[in-house]
Amino acid sequence: MRFSLGLTGSIGMGKSTTAKIFAELGCKIWDADAAVHRLYSLGGAAVGPIGDAFPTAIKNGAVDRGILKDLILNDKSVLDQIESIVHPLVQADRQAFRSSIKTGILVFDIPLLFETGSDTEMDAVACVYVDPKTQQGRVLARGTMSASQFDQILSKQLPIDEKLRKSDYKIETDSLPHARDQVSAVLDDIRRRMGHA
């Protein structure tokens, strides 16, 4: 039997870190941001169409994220155009993963799970959260986004309270031990549900 768990949350709230904990506990992970990285890299399926729309964003045969972020900051419509190119490719990647695995607990790490309606493909959804100050501090500490780029991305996402309201499980990412305990409890509950199915 297979169980699909959507894992979401706002930018920098701890999706990837929590996904790693699910992986350590035996789940198979599919990561939307990682799929975008593959699609943007040399030979990736997004390089051609992104290059047609934004020729300056291609460097050495790959999509340059720094240039893309500057283009997005200068023109709000750019991110919508990128999404219309990238999201169908990401969805195809996800379907290929799903159809290649027939049993076990599959975790889909998808920042825009609710925004894209992908929650309807899941058996349950877990949402990670942390207080907004910690969130901003963590994202800016990575040094890959300015405060205005962070605000712009955040404004494209459903507010965290709404994501939490729509989710079956909530995982607070204030510390690693606390997150691990909550992931274990989520998996106990899913295994119980699978046992009853």
Ligand X SMILES: Nc1ncnc2c1ncn2[C@@H]1O[C@H](COP(=O)(O)OP(=O)(O)OP(=O)(O)O)[C@@H](O)[C@H]1O
Ligand Y SMILES: CC(C)(COP(=O)(O)OP(=O)(O)OC[C@H]1O[C@@H](n2cnc3c(N)ncnc32)[C@H](O)[C@@H]1O)[C@@H](O)C(=O)NCCC(=O)NCCS
> Cα 43 to the chain's mean position, in Å?
22
What is the smallest separation between the CB atom of 65 and ligand Y, expressed in angstroms? 4
- The reply to whether 117 sits in an annotated binding site is no
Q: Which residues bind ligand X (CB under 6 A)?
A: 9, 11-17, 33, 111, 138, 173, 175-176, 179
The alpha carbon of 154 is separated from its chain's Cα centroid by a whole number of angstroms, namely: 13
Cβ 195 to ligand X shortest distance, Å: 28
Q: Which amino acid is at 175?
A: S
> What order do you get walking across the sheet with 169-172 strand by strand?
28-31, 104-109, 2-8, 124-129, 169-172
Place of tokens 């020729």: 55
- Which DSSP category does 172 fall into? E
For ligand Y, give the closer residue by CB, 29 or 145. 145
**DSSP assignment, residue 121?**
G
| Closest CB to ligand X among residues 44, 111 | 111
Q: Which residues bind ligand Y (CB under 6 A)?
A: 11, 32-33, 36, 65, 68-69, 72, 79, 82-83, 86, 90, 111-112, 144-145, 153, 156-157
For residue 14, say whether it is annotated as part of any ligand binding site.
yes
Binding site, annotated residues: 12-17
Which residues make up each annotated binding site for ATP? 12-17
